[in-house]
Amino acid sequence: MAQKTRNRKPLRPLKGKRPTFTDEFVMGLNYKSASQLKRFITDRGKILSRRNSGLTAKQQRHVAEQVKLARYMALLHYTADHLRQSQGG
């Protein structure tokens, strides 16, 4: 079997993904600012992943902690059950 050689372009270096939110903004979030924390949860009530939210690991841990505190204090919902309509039956 003859080996095929291809003329490929050299790969360009990958650039690191820049954070979408500043560190001061994210670290300034607390559980009392529920309207700002809603950016980081889905309509089903799940916390967005780092990939989707664009946060660093440290920022993601902080946001997750604050969302959990807000849920505990009943400022945010745990699930989207409050949105579901009861079906007659």
Where does the pLDDT of residue 86 fall: very low under 50, low under 70, confident under 90, or very high at 90 and above?
A: low
For the CA atoms of 34, 37, 42, 44, the dihedral, rounded to the nearest 10 degrees, stands at -30
Confidence (pLDDT) at 80:
76
Residue 12 buriedness (CB in 10 A; 0-12 / 13-18 / 19+): exposed
Quickly name the fold that domain 23-72 has: 30s Ribosomal Protein S18 (4.10.640)
Where does the pLDDT of residue 72 fall: very low under 50, low under 70, confident under 90, or very high at 90 and above?
A: very high
The pTM of the full predicted model, rounded to 2 decimals, is 0.71
Name the residue with tokens 């001061």: 24
